[in-house]
């Protein structure tokens, strides 16, 4: 079956083959070969570990089908539409409430997504989270707060007309579901102040 290139980022290419997606972390010529191989292998294994954990807790994310532990992951292709494309023409408060609840499930299981944007979420009866290439395990409120801050930034830049209502719905749901949500949301305020201070200095 022929492979079709469907996306390319800084770290990986995605190929569609039937109902599977092949994620290939391609070599970087500017890195020393041994370091490049080590890094790609580490990131491939870490993402595989995250996907296995998600499957174990029955979280809506692509299933891992195969892992070569070097540079290729074969994962399930989830049909549906990117949340980015449908959010503004839907019941966005309800969808964002679902997003907040699902982020809480990730955080309750010590999983930090690392790239929470509506481009990394697919709507197919329910919301699926995709692209765990930057994900890692952490218990720290700081890491969870940064994850939420990334969601806020993503909503603000891609859905500027509705982002405030969206983020409020997501946070309200997160607050109810997440363990230690009080600590995390307090930390979020610190993260946001830090961001504003940097922006002020840069202007």
- Reading the chain (203 residues) residue by residue, the pLDDT tens digits are 678 998 888 889 999 998 899 999 999 889 999 999 999 999 999 999 999 999 999 999 999 999 998 999 999 999 899 999 999 999 999 999 999 999 999 999 999 999 999 999 999 999 999 999 999 999 999 999 999 999 999 999 999 999 999 999 999 999 999 999 999 999 999 999 886 645 444 44
Between the alpha carbon of residue 78 and those of residues 56, 62, 121, 182, the distances in Å are 18, 7, 10, 34
Asked whether 169 and 100 are in contact (CB, 8 A), the reply is yes
Angle, helix 163-177 to helix 92-108, in steps of 10 degrees:
40
pLDDT of residue 203: 41
pLDDT of residue 199: 45
pLDDT of residue 198: 53
pLDDT of residue 201: 42
Between the alpha carbon of residue 103 and those of residues 40, 71, 127, 150, the distances in Å are 26, 27, 11, 12
Sign, CA torsion 64/58/163/184: negative
Of 53, 167, 41, 27, the residue nearest 110 (C-alpha): 53
Of 55, 60, 54, the residue nearest 126 (C-alpha): 60
Which domains occur in the chain, in start order? 4-76 (3.30.200.20), 81-202 (1.10.510.10)
Residue 11 CA to residue 5 CA, distance in Å, equals 14
Q: What are the residue numbers of the active site?
A: 115
Of 62, 107, 93, 81, the residue nearest 163 (C-alpha): 93
């Amino acid at each position: 079956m022929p492979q079709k290139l469907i996306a390319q980022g800084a770290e990986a290419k995605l190929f569609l083959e039937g109902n599977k997606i092949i994620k290939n972390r391609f070599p970087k010529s500017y890195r020393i070969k041994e370091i490049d191989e080590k890094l790609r292998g580490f990131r491939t294994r870490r993402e595989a570990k995250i996907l296995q954990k998600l499957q174990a807790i029955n979280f809506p994310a692509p299933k891992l089908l195969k892992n070569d532990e070097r540079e290729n992951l074969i994962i399930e292709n989830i049909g549906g539409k990117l949340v980015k494309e449908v959010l503004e023409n839907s019941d966005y408060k309800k969808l964002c409430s679902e997003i907040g609840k699902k982020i809480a499930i990730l955080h309750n299981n010590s999983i930090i997504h690392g790239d929470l944007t509506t481009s990394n979420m697919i709507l197919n009866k329910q919301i699926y989270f995709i692209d765990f290439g930057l994900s890692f395990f952490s218990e720290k409120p700081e890491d969870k707060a940064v994850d939420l801050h990334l969601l806020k930034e993503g909503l603000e830049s891609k859905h500027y007309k509705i982002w405030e209502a969206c983020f409020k719905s997501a946070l309200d749901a997160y607050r109810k579901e997440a363990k230690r949500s009080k600590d995390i949301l307090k930390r979020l305020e610190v993260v946001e102040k830090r961001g504003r201070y940097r922006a002020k200095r840069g202007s």
